[in-house]
Structure 1
Amino acid sequence: MDLHYEVHGNGKPIILVHSGGADLRDWSYLVPLLAEHFCVIAFDGRGAGRSPSPTQPPNYVEDLLFLLDHLDISQAAIVGHSMGGRIATEFAIHYPDRVSELIVIAPALSGFPYSEEMQTYMLGVSAAAPDIEKMIELCIEPPSYEITRNRAERELMVQMLRHHFERTFTWSTFDSVWPEPPAMDRLQDISARTLFIIGDHELTDNQQVGEQFRRVPSIRFATIAGADHMVTLTHPEELSLHITPFVKE
């Protein structure tokens, strides 16, 4: 296993899959809360944090499987944030026996028709390369980062983004491998009990992703008041209050 990971606490295993543009520090404030009850595994995705850069198009879903196999974990609760939510969702569809519970926090979704506004935003960030400071400025400009921008947690968000963009310039490929058909076409196939969490200061696209998740047979929804897309940094206590009893059921 060449991915960097950390293990905290004891008990039922929970795997945390961080967002894009971040690393396992995405979970810095949530890990100690969950580790009071569970064995919490946080890891750096390929190309992030202290994990190696991809040398060929990475398959993040298979990387998650390799991590569980390496740790000899037959089944775990999988928690994914943003892009990590996309990975977690695909994993729950393709490896249902390995997932006891699925918790997605403001997840991205394979196959979702993202708005022109969202696509323009992403292209604008990329077009600012190689000016990393400009890329960061554009990345956190949308209203979905407004709360975190004005809190102390802004510094950690910016640190992760800066590290991420610096790392991407060393990657030999920007392609990635995803299962087909996309998860949006198979949400009804998710057998794990699922919890969908989102802040009330999210972009319309991410709210509409939540509407798609209503097709999951066994799903609950929770909204965190006063939270934006980086709810993992700003509202860890509220997240723990939702996740802990859900996984303990």
Structure 2
Amino acid sequence: MELFYEIEGDGSPIVMIHSGGVDSRVWRYMVPELAQSFKVITFDGRGTGRSPAMQEPASLVEDLRKLLEHLGLDRVTLVGHSMGGQVATDFTLSYPSMVEQLVVIAPSVTGFVYSQEFTNYMTSVNAAAPDISKLVELSLAAPIYRSTMASPHRSFLSEMHAHYMTRVFTEWTCFEVLWPEPPAIERLEKIAANTLFIQGTIEWPDMYNIAEHFKRVPAIQFATIKGADHMLVLTHAEQLANCIQHFILGEHDGQILLI
């Protein structure tokens, strides 16, 4: 297996898929909580952390499938954050028999048309390339990082972001990611797994639109963490872990609201 991965704990398997711009270290505060009850698998996505750089067009969904086959896991719970939620959603649609339950945390989704506000932000960040420090500064200045950048996690997030950007501009020779067709946004009602959608209240308006689309998933619960921004996996790790544990164990009833 090419990808770097780690396993902690015993029990039913949970696979954690991190967001873009960071690596699997982002789960460091959630894993100890979840590993008390489950076998928790974290890994660095292709081109991030300690996994190989992007050298050719890659399917992150197929990377995940190969990892599960390597580990001998036939059926797992997926927990995906941001773009990791996009990977988890597409994987669930592509390999439904392999997914016991699905948890998406502030996810992106293939086929979603983002707002002008978000695309303008991405354009301004990308214009700073290849100046790593400027890329990190502009990227993390977004309002969706306001809570995290005012917290003790600021330096850790900045370090992970800088490490990611450095790898992108010094090691990657290909930037093409392959996604299943048709886009997931056109097929959300086909998700058979019990699903939990979690988000904070400090987000792009786009996230609320994505949540509206996820209401088409037949068996879905929603959780909101007040005061949390896009990096709630760092700032609200204990609350997230508890929420996920209750969901997996079936200790939920209707709308879930975290205060």
The CA deviation string for residues 184-242 of structure 1, in whole angstroms up to 9 with x for no partner, is 00000000000000001111011211111000000000001110000000001110121
How far is 1:127 from its partner?
Answer: 1.0
| Secondary structure of the corresponding residue to residue 215 of structure 2 | helix
Q: How does 1:78-157 map to 2 (within 5 A)?
A: 78-157=78-157
2: CA distance between counterparts of 1:209 and 1:117?
A: 15
| Secondary structure of the corresponding residue to residue 177 of structure 2 | coil
- Which residue of structure 2 lines up, in the alignment, with residue 43 of structure 1? 43
How far is 1:175 from its partner?
Answer: 0.9
- Which residue of structure 1 lines up, in the alignment, with residue 186 of structure 2? 185
Identity between Structure 1 and Structure 2 (%): 50
Residue identity matched to 1:160: M
1: CA distance between counterparts of 2:208 and 2:202?
A: 10
| Secondary structure of the corresponding residue to residue 42 of structure 1 | strand
- Which residue of structure 2 lines up, in the alignment, with residue 62 of structure 1? 62
The CA deviation string for residues 54-90 of structure 1, in whole angstroms up to 9 with x for no partner, is 2111100000000110000000000000000000000
| Secondary structure of the corresponding residue to residue 130 of structure 2 | coil
2: CA distance between counterparts of 1:246 and 1:92?
A: 17
1: CA distance between counterparts of 2:120 and 2:208?
A: 18
Q: Over the residues paired in the alignment, what is the CA RMSD in angstroms?
A: 0.6
| More moved, 115-124 vs 100-109 | 115-124
1: CA distance between counterparts of 2:27 and 2:141?
A: 22
- Which residue of structure 1 lines up, in the alignment, with residue 53 of structure 2? 53
The CA deviation string for residues 66-118 of structure 1, in whole angstroms up to 9 with x for no partner, is 01100000000000000000000000111000000000000001000100111
How far is 1:179 from its partner?
Answer: 0.5
After superposing on structure 2, the runs of 4+ consecutive aligned residues of structure 1 that deviate more than 2 Å are none
What stretches of structure 2 of length at least 5 have no aligned partner?
251-259
1: CA distance between counterparts of 2:96 and 2:26?
A: 25
Residue identity matched to 1:42: T
The CA deviation string for residues 106-149 of structure 1, in whole angstroms up to 9 with x for no partner, is 00010001001111111211110111111111111121110001
Query: How many residue pairs align between the two structures?
Result: 249
Pairing 1:223–2:224 present: yes
Residue identity matched to 2:190: D
How far is 1:245 from its partner?
Answer: 1.3
2: CA distance between counterparts of 1:153 and 1:43?
A: 21
The CA deviation string for residues 165-194 of structure 1, in whole angstroms up to 9 with x for no partner, is 000011010111000100000000000000
1: CA distance between counterparts of 2:247 and 2:117?
A: 34
2: CA distance between counterparts of 1:207 and 1:160?
A: 27
Residue identity matched to 2:232: V
What stretches of structure 1 of length at least 5 have no aligned partner?
none
Residue identity matched to 1:238: Q
TM-score, normalised by the number of residues in structure 2:
0.95
2: CA distance between counterparts of 1:63 and 1:98?
A: 14
| Secondary structure of the corresponding residue to residue 58 of structure 2 | coil
| Secondary structure of the corresponding residue to residue 216 of structure 1 | coil
